Homo-oligomer: A and B are copies of this chain.
Amino acid sequence: MQELSATAKVILGMLHHGARSGYEIKQAVDRSTRFFWNASYGRIYPELKRLEELGLVEGTAEATGERARRSFALTATGRDALEGWMRERPAACEMRHEALLKVFFADALPPGERPQRLLDMAAGHREKLAELRAVEAGIPESARASSAVTALRFGIEFNEWVASWCEREAGDHDGT
């Protein structure tokens, strides 16, 4: 069994979760994992096709009226692949954090402009924070115990922590 691609991983997980079509997978990603695991249509559809050829998912045409719609479900093999991957030790988190790179290189700017790099970084995280809080607000009481919500709470507290760290650091660096 070869490695699953990043998009394959989120597809299998989302199909387990209840999504059915490529479109729904994309929607689910945008609502939930987007802040740490994105996926685009341009990969979702080809991946679904490939996963079907590998026998991990099974698609059925669901022609509701004239509109094309393909519904996918995990096969037994697909469920095994998902669980197998879940049990492997996860890879280290990779990030590409442009705001932090600017903090890193801040010395390239005159001293007066340096704290702004930290404030920019804080602002980005505050924005993300607001988005995630809005998502959280839309979740009914009954669904608060799921692992997906744990990840969401992580996102909220993480963004809050980072923003506060940057603001404090920027404060320490200006001379007040």
A: residues with CB less than 8 A from B are 6, 9-10, 13, 16-17, 32-33, 35-38, 82-83, 86-87, 89-109, 113-114, 117-118, 120-121, 124-125, 127-128, 146-148, 150-151, 154, 157-158, 161-162, 165, 169
Contacts and interface: CB of A to CB of B under 8 A. Distances in A.
Q: Is the interface of A mostly helix, strand, loop or mixed?
A: helix
Nearest to A152: B104
Nearest to A90: B99
A36 B96 contact: yes
A150 B103 contact: yes
Given A95-B94, A107-B148, A154 B82 contact: no
Count copies of this chain in the complex.
2
Given A89-B120, A97-B36, A147 B106 contact: yes
15 contacts: A10-B101, A13-B101, A33-B101, A35-B95, A37-B101, A86-B102, A90-B99, A90-B120, A91-B98, A91-B99, A93-B98, A93-B100, A100-B154, A154-B169, A161-B161
B121 A105 contact: no
B90 A109 contact: no
B124 A13 contact: no
Nearest to A32: B104
